[in-house]
Amino acid sequence: MGVAALLLAALTAGCADSEPNANMATPTENTSGAVLAPTVSQPIADGKLIVAFGDSLYAGYQLGPTEGFAPTLERALRAEGIAATVVNAGVSGETTAQGRARLAFTLDGQPRKPDLVILGLGANDMLRGLSPQEARANLDAMLTELDRRGIETVLTGMLAAPNLGADYAAAFNPIYPDLAKKHGVALYPFFLDGVAGKRDLLIADGMHPNPKGIGVIVEHVAPLIAEAVKQ
């Protein structure tokens, strides 16, 4: 089964009784566009400062404080001898427009310029059926800002669920490879690769990874992050 079909299975399982504009968050989370202060860890002396900037997939939705993407990635990097602090700057329910609005605030709130930003937004745009053109423009603007600040970036991508139609997929899916090429950043094409559609790797909503699923994601993406941060 391809990754797009796996994603469809995950979304169908998680959103069977939801409205078409369902988000990857609960209604009580930040779906209104409010700017929230990011979580900041104290960077290791002489170590790398990495900011994981995304939505609920990054934030660790319904997971414990040590179980999400950022802390799990931090442990994986340290196990490989890379002294790094990975800041969890994920906000559940966030769209690319909301991420664009808070990026500068988040970067300015760090104790120093990050050595690397991992950027992963667009899932909520896709789930709501928002304009792929606007998602592209917002991600492009964020990458431009990171370029301007001289911050190394890794972009993690998302795929459109097939039930949104071929036209939507044709407009949405190329966003990430196109922008990665334009800005010269590393790309991990599909953040949920190896996890989407696998019930044993997801929480009860069928959409978000559980701690085991986070482990699979980190196992896949950590080598790319390690290579980027060493640069």
> In the annotation, is 183 catalytic?
no
152-156/48-54 β-pairing = unpaired
Helix (H, G, I), strand (E, B) or coil at 196: coil
State the catalytic residue, choosing from 131, 140, 205, 220: 205
Six-digit token string for 181: 């090429």
84-90/48-54 β-pairing = parallel
Rg of the chain in Å (alpha carbons): 16
- Number of alpha carbons in the 13 Å side-chain half-sphere of residue 95: 22
State the catalytic residue, choosing from 56, 92, 115, 193: 56
Strand (E) positions, the chain? 48-54, 84-90, 116-120, 152-156, 186-188
> In the annotation, is 220 catalytic?
no
> In the annotation, is 208 catalytic?
yes
Nearest to 149 by CA among 193, 120, 114, 181: 114
CB burial string 146-164: b at 16+ within 10 A, e below: beeeebbbbbbbbbbbeeb
CB atoms within 10 A of CB 42: 7
Give the whole-angstrom CA distance, residue 173 versus residue 155: 13
Active site positions, annotated:
56, 205, 208
